[in-house]
Amino acid sequence: MLELQDLDLQLDQIAHKRKSLPEHAALAELAKEKAVVDRELVTADTEVGDLRREQKKADSDVDQVRQRKARNQQRMDSGQVTSPRDLENLQHEIGSLDRRILALEDAELEVMEKLEAAEAVQAELQKRADAFAGRQSELEATRDAALKELDEQRAGVGDKRATVSAELPAELVTMYQKLRERNGGIGAAPLVGKRCMGCRMELAPSDLGKFKAAAADVVLRCEECGRILVRTAESTL
């Protein structure tokens, strides 16, 4: 019975180790940090996309005005326009187009500067996201290796427990399991001297006398905690 109790405690310890692996906490914390970076990266991706479209439009606007200016300049240079008034109007329009081109180029440059800054932020965030992903893979590999080792230990202890349990009366094992559930995982404890090692209480002389008179196959129960008491060479009986 005490061997069964010891094996169950080993299984409890293995289960606790599985739940409390440091990699679990590290992965949870990493996931929080990564989620923040991922959200910021989505925002950065959106901003870069918007600015690239804005730059494309700015490039197109400048190109259209330059083409219009070139057409007007060609008309003037070709001699097709002979009317002084029409020539004056063309010169005036070309001057307006020059000013428009300068304004558009300034706007284009501003967009390019914003895009460059946004792409730098995007690249840094992507670098951090990639680092998080690499760290996550490392932690998962370490965690999985630790879990595999613990699972192998659990399987070995479980096989031993099955063998030990099969050698005990089924009714006794059932009682023991119920007591374990009620008493924090300890369903059976040795009687050392006059003390139950489950609750650490010293038994009354009357209880000790009753236990001493009991047959070897009688299941003893601690009057204080209800656990199964197992006689040992150190029991005062």
Q: Specify the CATH number for the domain of residue 54.
A: 1.10.287.1490
Domain boundary among 166, 196, 213: 166
What share of the chain has pLDDT > 90, as a percent?
A: 86
With bands split at pLDDT 50, 70 and 90, how would you rate the model's confidence at 97?
very high
Q: Into how many domains does the chain fold? A: 2
Residue range(s) defining the domain that contains residue 201: 170-235
Query: Do 229 and 147 share a structural domain?
Result: no
- Same domain for 154 and 101: yes
Residue 92 has pLDDT above 80, yes or no: yes
Question: Is residue 98 a contact partner of residue 62, using CB atoms and an 8 Å limit?
Answer: no
pLDDT confidence of residue 88: 86
Q: What pTM was estimated for this model as a whole? A: 0.72
pLDDT given for residue 121 in this prediction: 97
Q: Are residues 222 and 191 in the same domain?
A: yes
Same domain (yes/no): 46, 161 = yes
Last residue of a domain, one of 150, 166, 182: 166
Rounded Cα distance between 224 and 178, Å, is 16
Contact between 51 and 139 under an 8 Å Cβ cutoff? The reply is: no
Clarify whether residues 101 and 120 are in a common domain: yes
Q: How confident is the model at residue 177 (pLDDT cuts 50, 70, 90)?
A: very high
**Does 46 have pLDDT greater than 90?**
yes
Q: Are strands 228-235 and 188-193 parallel, antiparallel or unpaired?
A: parallel
Q: Pick from 144, 166, 188: which residue ends a domain?
A: 166
177 and 161 housed in the same domain: no
Confidence check: pLDDT of 206 > 80: yes
> In this structure, are 138 and 176 located in the same domain?
no
Residues 133 and 113 in one domain: yes
Indicate whether 55 and 156 sit together in one domain.
yes
Give the number of other CB atoms < 10 A from CB of residue 172: 15
Residues 32 and 90 in one domain: yes
- Report the chain's terminal Cα–Cα distance, integer Å: 19
d(CA 147, CA 106): 61
Asked if 97 and 115 sit in the same domain, the reply is yes
Backbone angles phi, psi at 81, to 5 degrees: -95, 115
Please tell me whether residues 105 and 202 are part of one structural domain. no
